[in-house]
Amino acid sequence: MKIEKSIELGGRILTLSTGHVAAQADGAVMASYGESRWVKREGRPTDEEILSARLIDRSIRPLFPKEYAGRDVQVIVTVLSVDMENRPDIVAAVATSAAIAISPIPWDGPMGVVRIGLKEKKYLTNPVETDIDLANMDLIVATNREAVIMIEAGAKQVSEEIIVKGIEAAQKESTKVIELIDELVSEVKPKKVKVEKSEISKDLYKKIKNDSLKQIQELVPAMAIMEAGYSAMDELKRAVLASLDDSEKAMGVKIFESLFQDEVRSLILSGKRPDGRKHDEIRPLSAQVGILPRTHGSAIFQRGQTQAMTIATLGAPSLEQLIETATGEESKRYIHHYSMPPFSIGETGRIGSPNRREIGHGALAERALIPVIPEENEFPYTIRVVTEILSSNGSTSMASVCGSTLSLMDAGVPIKAPIAGIAMGLVVENDKKYAVLTDIVGLEDGNGDMDFKVAGSKDGITAMQMDVKTLNLTLPVLEAALAQAKSARLEILKVIASAIDKPRDGVSKYAPKIKIIRIPPDKIGELIGPGGKTIKKIIAETGAQVDVDDDGTVFISGVTKESKFFRAKKDWFTYQT
């Protein structure tokens, strides 16, 4: 039997239906918003689909009970149609929330997801595509009934106050989505799988604590300075388990890991950190530019044990990246690629195509810089930035942001403002007792409750990404984290300025030189010639690359100033030697 529920959200109808698709799945929901629809999908995902999948995963993961760990839960989402106005990612997330909620899977949902835009000082709920393109802020927030669960945002240097008000607006609108899913659940009446918490033997707990606590307390500070320092922890765990009966070992692992996590968290809540820093203290910073002789721009940024080498390369406009999406073809002239090889954490491993994490980190770093990249008519280059993580211990994505700023300025790209990023953490016991941490290391990330990445200029935020492992994150805590992040960002920007305080006056001698000429659009055919004969001849004789836009803008690029360039002749165009 088909069950369907609808509400009005952002001036359009959001509809959820079930009972008529994927009957053998534990939960299947078709969601539509406007004429954009999503259901379950299969097939190799594109980068855009990977980023949408990560957004969904980060929203639903904190709501599964810990006792359900180890069991497979697979969510497959497929786009059925796109109306070119309503982005499918929000519909996909809502459909996922509804599908899990009506399934037998134990889950502390539902959660609601909305996009909030800011246009002409007005907050828009799930803005249409044209409004997103013109908006000063693109903020996606996932919440349950009480807390913020996930944040993803890009912005044009907006203030922390604007961000907080946007999150407040998102919480209010998410409530409508949650109530809609609740209506669907009340009619479906799913029988949830019961998950029972295993009883911990007090005697076993006492034994393991006596055998390992002192070593754990010695181990924590050492592990704080090396992300891959878990081999010593594993060695200690094996030694502890060796003294247990086989029937006790499964529970022994849980007890040991709980003791370790409790030690890290109690240390932080006492006012200290595993590496001895204050809660708001950044690790030592350094920045260098021009480290590679023939690249167009290069830099190394280091924060503690995290070290990122970033290289900027400039190319002709024709080298922009073309991307096929569900909404059509689009192009990118600023591209960031991120790589984290195994040696960066002291390990060996396979190197291949970028994994989901690398794609996500590269996209976040790219988003942070896009608001300050000059327009094409001001700087007509395609810009590719590559970050190689040389050493990792906390927030390599934000190190990539800082490295991007340095390498772009070293390459002579006239960015509108330097951008820096910082990762914030949280350990929370209750709404009265919590600690907000600046510049978290891997140990604090793994045992804490929040990973909150914030990037921006001295004037405002350009990108954010937040994941949590707690359902106790409130707006006051978020406000405190944003204020602390701003202080850290300003401190990092000073270090960046000490290495290079403004973009270089010109591009590298190894970068292509580009000249722009504008011709009447009706002369484009003459420039190209029959079958491209004329433009091919020009390219062959001059050695320059020639690209023509539909409006008559002609981009001529050559490797050196000695390349044969073009100038106006007669009433439109010719070239000179």
The domain segmentation of the chain, as residue ranges, is: 3-188, 202-269, 285-499, 513-575
Topology of domain 3-188, CATH: Ribosomal Protein S5; domain 2 (3.30.230)
Domain 513-575 belongs to what topology? Ribosomal Protein S8; Chain: A, domain 1 (3.30.1370)
Average pLDDT over residues 409-427: 97
CA gap 429, 400 in Å, rounded: 32
For residue 90, what pLDDT is reported?
95
Number of C-beta neighbours around residue 227 at 10 A? 23
Task: State the DSSP code for 344.
Answer: G
- In this model, does residue 372 exceed pLDDT 90? yes
pLDDT at 107 > cutoff 90: yes
DSSP character for 319? G
Handedness of CA 408, 413, 418, 423 (dihedral sign): negative
Mean pLDDT score, 355-376: 96
For 70-74, 290-294, 479-483, which range has the lowest pLDDT when averaged over its residues?
70-74
- Check whether 34 has a pLDDT greater than 90: no
Confidence grade of residue 67 (pLDDT, cut at 50, 70, 90): confident
- Tell me, what's the pLDDT at 185? 97
Report the alpha-carbon distance of residue 465 to residue 428 in Å, rounded: 19
206-218 burial, b if ≥16 CB within 10 A, otherwise e?
ebbbebbeeebee
The answer to whether residue 331 scores a pLDDT higher than 90 is no
Find the range with the poorest average confidence among 31-45, 238-252, 346-360.
Answer: 31-45
Q: How far apart are CA 32 and CA 85, in angstroms?
A: 12
Contacts of 296 (CB under 8 A, 6+ apart): 311, 312, 313, 314, 411, 412, 507, 508, 510, 511
Q: What is the mean pLDDT of residues 195-216?
A: 91
User: What does the pLDDT read at residue 538?
Assistant: 85
Q: Contact at 8 Å (CB) between 499 and 406?
A: yes
Q: Per mean pLDDT, which range of 280-289, 319-328, 440-449, 530-539 is the poorest?
A: 319-328
DSSP 386-451: EEEEEE-SS-HHHHHHHHHHHHHHHTT---SS--EEEEEEEEESSSSSEEEEES--HHHHHHSSEE
H or E stretch covering 141: strand 137-143
Cα 266 from Cα 259, distance rounded (Å): 10
Residue with tokens 């920007």: 493
Q: Higher-confidence residue: 398 or 44? A: 398
What confidence tier does 516 reach under pLDDT thresholds 50, 70, 90? confident
Mean pLDDT, to the nearest integer, of 317-324? Answer: 84
What pLDDT, on a 0 to 100 scale, did the predictor assign at position 561? 55
CATH level 2 (architecture), domain 285-499: 2-Layer Sandwich (3.30)
Query: Per the omega criterion (within 30 degrees of 0), is the bond before 521 cis?
Result: no
Inter-residue contact 106 to 65 (CB < 8 Å): yes
pLDDT, position 544: 83
In this model, does residue 226 exceed pLDDT 80?
no
Please indicate whether the domains covering 3-188 and 285-499 agree at the CATH topology level.
yes
pLDDT at site 431: 78
What average pLDDT does range 481-495 have in this prediction? 98
d(CA 243, CA 422): 43
- Dump pLDDT digits (tens) for 304-314: 999 999 999 99
pLDDT number for residue 570: 35
Q: What is the pLDDT of residue 566?
A: 43
Q: Name the band, by pLDDT with cuts 50, 70 and 90, for residue 241.
A: very high
| Confidence band for 40, pLDDT divided at 50, 70 and 90 | very low
> So what's the pLDDT on residue 568?
36
Distance spanning both ends of the chain, measured CA to CA: 76
Looking at every residue in the chain, the average pLDDT score rounds to 91
The residue among 462 and 201 whose pLDDT is bigger is 462
Q: Residue 507 corresponds to which tokens in the numbers above?
A: 């591009």
Does pLDDT of 278 surpass 80? yes
Q: How many residues does the chain have?
A: 577
Instruction: Say if residue 110's pLDDT is above 80.
Output: yes
Given a cut of 50, whether residue 260 has pLDDT beyond it is yes
Find the Cα–Cα–Cα–Cα dihedral 264, 268, 272, 275, rounded to 10°.
Answer: 50
**CA distance linking residue 474 with residue 431, whole number of Å:** 8
Beta-strand pair 122-125/137-143: unpaired
Confidence of residue 36 (pLDDT cuts 50, 70, 90): low
User: How many Cα atoms within 13 Å fall on the side-chain side of residue 289?
Assistant: 25
For residues 566 and 544, what is the distance between their CA atoms, to the nearest angstrom? 9
Q: Is the pLDDT assigned to residue 37 strictly greater than 50?
A: yes
Which is more confidently placed, 352 or 449? 449
Higher local confidence (pLDDT), 552 or 288: 288
